[in-house]
Structure 1
Amino acid sequence: MGLKEWIVPQDRAFFDLFEKLADTANEGAELLQNLVNDYEDVQNKCHKMKQIEHEGDAISHQIFEQLNLTFITPLEPEEISRLAKALDDILDYIDGTTQQMYGYGVTETDTYMQELARLINLSTTEVKTAVRMIRKLDNPKAVERHCIEINRLENLADVVLGEAIKNLFATNDAITIIKLKDIYENLEEATDKCEDVANVLSDIAIRHS
């Protein structure tokens, strides 16, 4: 890399990578929803999910590598770091829960898993849209609207989790309770990670508006 490339802000590189990472998180969410709605060929779907997660890790690594090489950045270095980590965390929870379902030997999904997966997919779609808006930040209020929607979806996921746990503890199968509680909680945690992204994006919109 020459001196010019080191000094000039690498706006396009960072924003391209953020958008790729958001797209990859959404791809994982779509596969998750497909999995819980059509719980067949689980091993192959889990393998595909792991590939998506590895792709997300590679993109996240590129962002941090670019951050170390860039003297002047289009956003604050802390903002870049926080956003990259938050986006990667979404994928980690989506993949982790998918592998957990397979590893626990879950034989069928239920309406709670399906609804949580739907909310995750909706949340990552909002994330994908909002991330694209920070490239120019010419409409910070629009970014904020998407962030508010992500927060709303996370609140809905909290309600679904509460109902799922309540229903689960009405049963007497301790092993099933342990397995499904973990899965429900980790699915809901994926929406929490989407909310973390929304919080970073909201801070960026406010600071740079």
Structure 2
Amino acid sequence: MERSIDHNVVLDNNITSYNRVRFINKIRIILNNRILGDVLATWFWLAKSREKRIIHDSIRHLTKIREVAEDLNNMINNIYVNDKLKAIDFYNKLDKDEKDADEIKRNIIKELSTSTLHPMDREDLLKLIFTSDDIAAFLKACSHKLKILLDIQIEIDKEIINRISEVELMIIKQIELLIDSLENLYRDISTTLTYTNLVEEIEEKIDMLKMELQETIYSKCETITIRCLLLKEAIEDIEMASDKCEDVADIIRMIATTYS
């Protein structure tokens, strides 16, 4: 006697089997997504942690650059009082501090080369480091022009050197504001933006002082001399250092508004 096939039972079994497979696949997807989510969360945490560490190192870098600026100001002050030996001592200290800043820069670049950061984040941090380094480079260039004048025993007009010192103090203030802005980057973005805006305002004042200084130099230089040329270049170097401070402020603003 032939057994009849209950098609309804077969259909029910097939549906049950199909639903079981779908259920298992859903579980697999959920587990895979959860694992992927955990992996991504870990990656983001590591990337953010490394970014904060690099920002901390950038603060150390700028702190050393502030020392370079202070060295230049001390050199200028000793030129003003005609103490050539002390002025040269501060020039040598500036040279050492600038090299120390370079070493910090190289270590940060090495850290970035092996980091898990997104390429765009890495690029912004590299811009921060290289542009900060430009500040120190222009300050050193200014000190070198002044040292040449000392070496060849050319007297520098006290009014001019006093005005250069005035500008240099403003650059020190700019660098301090940049440090403060980075220190507040992960605590209070509005404070960071306020500090960077102040850096820009100081740069505008320095632009005006530069023009006044150039007028003073031209009024005292009836003929083109080594003193006039070197002082003009020294003022341009110090003004470029201020411009680079503003550029660093722009980069910090970009980091603050985009990634923080």
* TM-score above 0.5, yes or no: yes
Tell me the distance in 2 between the aligned counterparts of 1:99 and 1:178.
13
Higher helix share: 2
Report 1:132-151 matches (<5 A): 132-134=183-185, 136=186, 138-151=187-200
Matching residue of 1:153: 202
Tell me the distance in 2 between the aligned counterparts of 1:107 and 1:24.
30
Q: One-letter code of the match for 1:174?
A: I
Tell me by how many angstroms 1:74 deviates: 11
Report 1:190-201 matches (<5 A): 190-201=241-252
Q: Secondary structure at the match of 1:38?
A: helix
Q: One-letter code of the match for 1:193?
A: K
Tell me by how many angstroms 1:75 deviates: 7.6
Matching residue of 1:125: 176
TM-score by length of 1: 0.89
Structure 2 residue 164 is matched with structure 1 residue 164: no
Tell me by how many angstroms 1:151 deviates: 0.5
Unaligned runs of 5+ in 2: 1-41
Tell me by how many angstroms 1:34 deviates: 1.7
Identity %: 19
Q: Which moved more, 1:54-63 or 1:166-175?
A: 166-175
Q: Which whole-Å deviations, capped at 9, do the CAs of 1:139-159 have from their partners, x for residues lacking one? A: 211111111110111111101
Tell me by how many angstroms 1:54 deviates: 0.4
Aligned CA-pair RMSD = 2.2
Q: Is the 8 A contact 1:11 1:74 kept in 2?
A: no
Q: Secondary structure at the match of 2:117?
A: coil
Tell me the distance in 2 between the aligned counterparts of 1:53 and 1:206.
30
Tell me the distance in 1 between the aligned counterparts of 2:133 and 2:107.
12
Matching residue of 1:8: 46
Tell me the distance in 1 between the aligned counterparts of 2:216 and 2:119.
48
Tell me by how many angstroms 1:195 deviates: 0.5
Tell me by how many angstroms 1:208 deviates: 2.7
Give the greater-gyration-radius structure (CA): 2
Tell me the distance in 1 between the aligned counterparts of 2:180 and 2:120.
18
Unaligned runs of 5+ in 1: none
Tell me the distance in 2 between the aligned counterparts of 1:187 and 1:97.
6
Matching residue of 1:19: 59
Matching residue of 1:35: 75
Q: Which has the higher contact order (CA 8 A, sep 6+)?
A: 1
